[in-house]
Structure 1
Amino acid sequence: MKKLTALALVMMMQGVFCQSALAQQENRAMVPLPSVDDFTRGNDGWAFALGAGIEYETAYEGSDEFGFEVQPAGAIQWRSGDNIFYFAGEALGWRGLRAETWLLEALIGFDEGREENDSDDGRLDGLGDTEEGFELVLQARRAFSDDWRYWLVSRLVAGDNGNLGLFGVGRRFGDKTDGSGSEINLVAVFHDSKYANTGFGITAQQSLASGLNETRLSGGLRSVGVDYNYRHNINENWQIFAEALYEHFSSEVRSSPIARSNYEAEIGIGFIYIF
């Protein structure tokens, strides 16, 4: 009788573990990275997710003012094999997995620019608003193995306000393949002179209007930074996500009167419902 009971328990435990493994396999994300939204549960076809988050962040790049801001979250996605096309917020894009270790991505996004009233303390008075516009973003990640434990990342942002490049390394924590867990990235960011002066330059006209010294920046190193992403599946439909970012500006950027702080930082948390 005891042997039969033990055998029954073993078979029951095996069934539970097999069901858990099958469920995780069914929910397998295209790449198991918390920073890469994948609401398809491993299936081809449409996927919909909607949510919101709250961020505590600097008022504008280089600001020493902080505040809370509510941001929408989620996306509309369509998956076909190792390709996902998506619309998320102000971005329309595609990402694809190649050879299990290459993640390629291309998107068109919208840059909202900067407004004088972004500073409650009047730090931007006289500088006017920077132009809004569309940006093309190209990104590639190369994993060292198909479990995506470590990877290299590169990103190019090109638009009317100049060009920006990012290069870095990342590491994933946790063993789940459904996109939950956490990851950290260490990056170096470079910009050309047009991008640098859009954010931190001061023309002669702006100098007269604002009282700040005329400033002209060259291209080169913009900053070094670190960002952390976390994602957890509460149940089949609900996710909680969080992100923290710190960017330390280069000495040239810090010399601009617009840079009231040596760094930019933000932290955020939110919830997403997957339909």
Structure 2
Amino acid sequence: MKKIVLQVATFLGALSCFGSSTAAETRTALVPLPSIDDFTNGDGWGVGLGLSVEYETAYEGSDEFELEVDPAGGVQWRNGEHLFFWAGEAIGWRTLARDAWLFQTSVGYEEGREESDSEDGRLDGLGESNSGVTLLLEVRHALVDDWRYFLDGRVLTGEIGTLGIFGAGTCLGCEPNGTGWEIGAAVTFHDGKYANRDFGVNTRQSIASGLPETDVDSGYRSIGVNVNYRNYLNENWQIFGEALYEAYGSDVSDSPISRNDYEAEIGIGFIYVF
């Protein structure tokens, strides 16, 4: 996994040497962070359409990996320090306050795990986990004027339970147009409902699958690191990449559903910004 991350980082770095600095430089993102996309040019509508290719674990706790192609980009409308967006299965709003506080809220749909997610049949008998509408609340705070260092807090809650993420990050070589490298580290916590959605085994599932009944307590879930990259290749084409490594806590790792004590993914994509 480390070798793959290094190879992709080298590839992205080489591509950035060919990026054009013309019209892309005139764009000013809401915040200069690669993980927060902004397809507008300061005000008005912004549209970005593209594709990403990801190599990732097949489901939470899986030791199987799969290659997946997903749409990328979204539709946005910005008015000063307010940005409304629609991306994938989420619609939301971001705003910047006092140049140092980024607030975001969005409503999305979280799909559940299916038995067919495991090609090796390791989910047979478990059925489909809950899907549902979720509400995301996020706050980021810049520790310095250029957002080189920041703190991040997120809460995802809804029918499927509640997940909390608390972390910090740094932006390397980031530009006002939202390009550059971003590295972050985070600790996650979950309530019992969210924990058992991914790693619990109830009585019915135990009988059908042969796995022992398991009830996962709320509390600490994992610790992880993530890397984000974004760059304009020319006036309209944008390349982005991301990598994630998340190490589970003992309660999650001890679940019979967990075949690995970590989750990992790496991806690369292209977006055409209109």
TM exceeds 0.5?
yes
Partner secondary structure for residue 252 of structure 2: helix
- 1:57/1:66 contact within 8 Å kept: yes
Which residue number in structure 2 is paired with residue 127 of structure 1? Answer: 126
Aligned partner letter, 2:154: R
* Counterparts of 1:161 and 1:85, CA distance in 2: 25
Which residue number in structure 1 is paired with residue 28 of structure 2? Answer: 28
Which segments of structure 1 move beyond 6 Å, counting only runs of 4 or more? none
Partner secondary structure for residue 196 of structure 1: helix
Partner secondary structure for residue 30 of structure 1: coil
Partner secondary structure for residue 207 of structure 1: helix
- 1:193/1:217 contact within 8 Å kept: yes
- 2:23/2:235 contact within 8 Å kept: no
Which residue number in structure 2 is paired with residue 212 of structure 1? Answer: 211
Aligned partner letter, 1:80: N
Which residue number in structure 2 is paired with residue 174 of structure 1? Answer: 173
Which residue number in structure 2 is paired with residue 163 of structure 1? Answer: 162
* Counterparts of 1:91 and 1:181, CA distance in 2: 25
**Closer, same or farther: CA 70–24 of 1 in aligned 2, 3 Å:** closer
* Counterparts of 1:83 and 1:21, CA distance in 2: 26
Shift of 1:24: 6.5
* Counterparts of 2:25 and 2:232, CA distance in 1: 15
Answering whether residue 144 of structure 2 is matched by residue 150 of structure 1, we say: no
Which residue number in structure 1 is paired with residue 223 of structure 2? Answer: 224
Which residue number in structure 2 is paired with residue 184 of structure 1? Answer: 183
Answering whether residue 264 of structure 2 is matched by residue 262 of structure 1, we say: no
Shift of 1:30: 1.0
- 1:24/1:176 contact within 8 Å kept: no
- 2:139/2:153 contact within 8 Å kept: yes
* Counterparts of 1:84 and 1:146, CA distance in 2: 20
Provide Cα deviations, 1:4-38, integer angstroms capped at 9, x if missing partner.
xxxxxxxxxxxxxxxx9996663111100000010
Q: How many residues were matched structurally?
A: 255
Which residue number in structure 2 is paired with residue 195 of structure 1? Answer: 194
Q: Taking every aligned residue pair, what percent have the same amino acid on both sides?
A: 57
- 1:24/1:177 contact within 8 Å kept: no
Shift of 1:220: 0.5
- 2:189/2:220 contact within 8 Å kept: yes
* Counterparts of 2:104 and 2:26, CA distance in 1: 24
* Counterparts of 1:21 and 1:218, CA distance in 2: 51
Shift of 1:177: 1.1
Which residue number in structure 2 is paired with residue 243 of structure 1? Answer: 242
TM-score, length of structure 1 as denominator length: 0.90
Unaligned runs of 5+ in 2: 1-19
- 2:89/2:108 contact within 8 Å kept: yes
TM-score, length of structure 2 as denominator length: 0.91
Answering whether residue 41 of structure 2 is matched by residue 41 of structure 1, we say: yes
Name the larger-Rg structure. Answer: 1
Aligned partner letter, 2:165: L
- 1:190/1:223 contact within 8 Å kept: yes
- 1:164/1:190 contact within 8 Å kept: yes
Aligned partner letter, 2:164: G
CA RMSD of aligned residues (A): 1.4
Aligned partner letter, 1:210: S
- 1:86/1:92 contact within 8 Å kept: yes
Provide Cα deviations, 1:182-210, integer angstroms capped at 9, x if missing partner.
10110000000111011100001100100
Unaligned runs of 5+ in 1: 1-19
* Counterparts of 2:94 and 2:47, CA distance in 1: 16
